[in-house]
Amino acid sequence: MIIGLGNRGFVRKSGQSAIALGSNLGDSRTILESSLKILDQTPGISVIAQSSWYQTEPVGPPQPDYLNGCALLKVEISPLELLERLLAIEAKFGRVRQERWGPRILDLDLLLFDDLILETANLKIPHPYFRERAFVLVPLAEIAPNWIDPISGKAIGQLMQEVDCSGVTKIEN
Ligand SMILES: Nc1ncnc2c1ncn2[C@@H]1O[C@H](COP(=O)(O)OP(=O)(O)OP(=O)(O)O)[C@@H](O)[C@H]1O
Ligand SMILES: Nc1nc2c(c(=O)[nH]1)N=C(CO)CN2
């Protein structure tokens, strides 16, 4: 377990990462599928697993249901570089930040990076809210149930058991 010392600290240049994908504006299914293809074609990033898509009730201000999913990436870049790639893809799809937790065309969150714990101004790993989000834990448990959260020491499958998953519905196809 490596504690990041901000930008000056030890930062890995490769690893396995888990990301969350979400969208509740536009043609969400196409947007999410396309963003995964772009990620897989990005130098230093390979998509090695993806979950089913889930229709999820919005957490936060009233807004349309989301389409959510998770993916596992093998990366040859640092966590900070990975975040930059994720933000660039969001911008490519025209994501503009308005109200916090408001509706968005595309949201790509960096959930986990091996067993890294990193706390910088722009990047916190593990994602600070993932443990309480069924819209993250259900798809993530589908593809990585045994990944251990380096802060709680619990497996993803166990974390999922601890939240109310009633607002998360798997899309079959
Ligand atoms: N693990 C992380 N994954 C993605 N962004 C992160 C992470 N940690 C910190 N950030 C920072 O959060 C900023 C705001 O992200 P964003 O606007 O997508 O938040 P949000 O998705 O609305 O809320 P939430 O953080 O609850 O998912 C990003 O610009 C990024 O610098
Ligand atoms: N169901 C759902 N609710 C949300 C989501 C999301 O992806 N899915 N993202 C948010 C901000 O990150 C806030 N609320």
* Residue 8 Cβ < 6 Å to ligand 1: no
Q: Which of 12, 65, 100, 107 is catalytic?
A: 107
Give dist(CA 110, CA 126) in Å, integer.
8
The first and second tokens of residue 41, run together, are: 């074609």
Query: Could you give the ipTM of this predicted complex?
Result: 0.95
Sorted by sequence, the CB contacts under 8 Å of residue 68 that are 6+ apart come out as 20, 21, 22, 53, 54, 56, 135, 136, 139, 168
Residue nearest to atom 30 of ligand 1 (CA): 122
Q: pLDDT by residue (tens digit) across 26-59?
A: 999 999 999 999 999 999 999 999 999 999 999 9
**Residue 3 domain flag:** no
Give dist(CA 140, CA 155) in Å, integer.
11
Ligand 1 pocket test, pick from 83, 125, 136, 140 with the greatest ligand atom count within 8 Å of Cβ, gives: 83
Quickly tell me which residue has 């999922």 as its tokens: 160
CA angle 10, 114, 164 (to 5 degrees): 130
Question: Is 104 designated active site?
Answer: yes
Question: Is 107 designated active site?
Answer: yes
What distance, in Å, lies between the first and last C-alpha atoms of the chain?
A: 38
Give dist(CA 9, CA 26) in Å, integer.
39
Q: pLDDT by residue (tens digit) across 67-94?
A: 999 999 999 999 999 999 999 999 999 8
**What is the reported pTM?**
0.94
Domain span at residue 107 reads 15-170
Domain of 162: which CATH number?
3.30.70.560
Residue 10 Cα, ligand 2 centroid: separation in angstroms? 31
Q: Quick count: other Cβ atoms within 10 Å of Cβ 165?
A: 15
pLDDT at 11: 75
User: How many independent structural domains does the chain possess?
Assistant: 1
